[in-house]
Amino acid sequence: MKDDAMASDPALVRPARPILVNCPTFDENSGGVIVLHALVDRLRTLGVEAYAVQIPKDYAAVKSPVVRALRRWNSRRKQRGFQTHPSLDVPLAPPGRVNEAIVVYPETVSGNPLGASRVARWLLNRPGLLGGDAEIAAGEEVFFYQQAFAQDVQGLPADRLLQLRWLRDDIYKDRGGPRSGACRMIRKGTDTLDQIPHPDDAIPLDEKSHAEIAEVFNRTTVFYCHDPYTMYAYYAALCGCTPVVIPKPGLSAQEWRAGFELKHGVAYGVDEIAWAKATRGQLIADMAAAKASETETVVQFLAVLQARFG
């Protein structure tokens, strides 16, 4: 079901309160930042009053009143420079909306710095792994981007999946040129650096732009990925470069796939390369079908928030 058709559906539950999503300024190289912006955009597409909100720094630990005031002013100035991608509708929240709103924090934010009365937590990775608190505070409504991120959260219902993608199929596509060699990305996979099934001359991709990465994907044969959960594995497949996730110690292929929403076209270790090549077409079909299911997770997200916060 398309978003525009769903937006006009009278059965769609829209919370009466605005939804404020804690979003840093847009960064095309940060998957977490991208999906936070994508959530605001998707909510607004569905007719929900939704905004981005940033956490002001109070610099309470700064002893000098003058220095503290200057730093607060500079922080507010930087927030006025908030940016999103031109294709996304992500306005900043008007002042004074927090008290009446439902605030959504990613798991990397500790506590409730905005002092909101109604809090939802979106696990874009395992709690505490990349920052924030390892334990979820009582009273928060919790959602997860992938099942693997919620495996340590007790009593979380299975219907709390909230998954969106900003699929850059405008950049990542197979251009049909000649291929040779390999490329490599580390990102959050630093714990597998001692496993080296890839050639030493694999082209490093970390810190490159999307356009640069797409160009490399289109001239290499294999993409070795140390981060077990990243969209770049899918992007490589779209470009015709076979993605190989470097196995994480203690994590079997079966366990990895249980937390990886699209199962085909990505090898978990070099032994699966032939299988990944054979199932690339199914992965692309699955990615197209996933767009419809994403909006269904947003609709369920709204229903949970309405039931809890009214």
Whether the per-residue pLDDT at 61 is higher than 70: the answer is: no
Residue 33 DSSP SS3 = helix
For residue 108, give its domain range. 3-166+289-309
Residue 28 and residue 159 in one domain:
yes
Residue 125 and residue 195 in one domain:
no
Residue 139 and residue 203 in one domain:
no
Residue 107 and residue 88 in one domain:
yes
Residue 199 and residue 101 in one domain:
no
User: What are the tens digits of pLDDT across the range 22-58?
Assistant: 999 999 878 899 999 999 999 999 999 999 999 986 6
Residue 73 and residue 139 in one domain:
yes
Classify strands 102-106 and 141-144 as parallel, antiparallel or unpaired.
unpaired
Residue 143 and residue 190 in one domain:
no
**Residue 190: both structure tokens together:** 């630093």
Residue 14 and residue 151 in one domain:
yes
With respect to residue 173, please indicate whether it lies within any of the assigned structural domains: no
Residue 76 and residue 204 in one domain:
no
The answer, as to whether pTM is greater than 0.75, is no
Query: What is the DSSP track for 261-308?
Result: S--SS-EESGGGHHHHHHTHHHHHHHHHHHHHHHHHHHHHHHHHHHHH
Residue 219 and residue 271 in one domain:
yes
Number of domains in the chain: 2
Whether the per-residue pLDDT at 244 is higher than 80: the answer is: yes
Quick one: average pLDDT of 250-267?
83
With respect to residue 171, please indicate whether it lies within any of the assigned structural domains: no
Reported confidence tier of residue 261, pLDDT bands at 50, 70, 90? low
With respect to residue 8, please indicate whether it lies within any of the assigned structural domains: yes
User: What are the tens digits of pLDDT across the range 274-303?
Assistant: 999 999 999 888 887 877 788 899 999 999
| Neighbour-count burial for 279-294, b at 16+ CB within 10 Å, e otherwise | bbeebbebbeebeeeb
User: What are the tens digits of pLDDT across the range 161-212?
Assistant: 999 988 787 899 999 999 999 999 998 888 887 776 666 789 999 999 999 9
Determine if residue 192 is left, alpha or beta; phi over 0 gives left, psi from -120 to 50 gives alpha, anything else beta: alpha
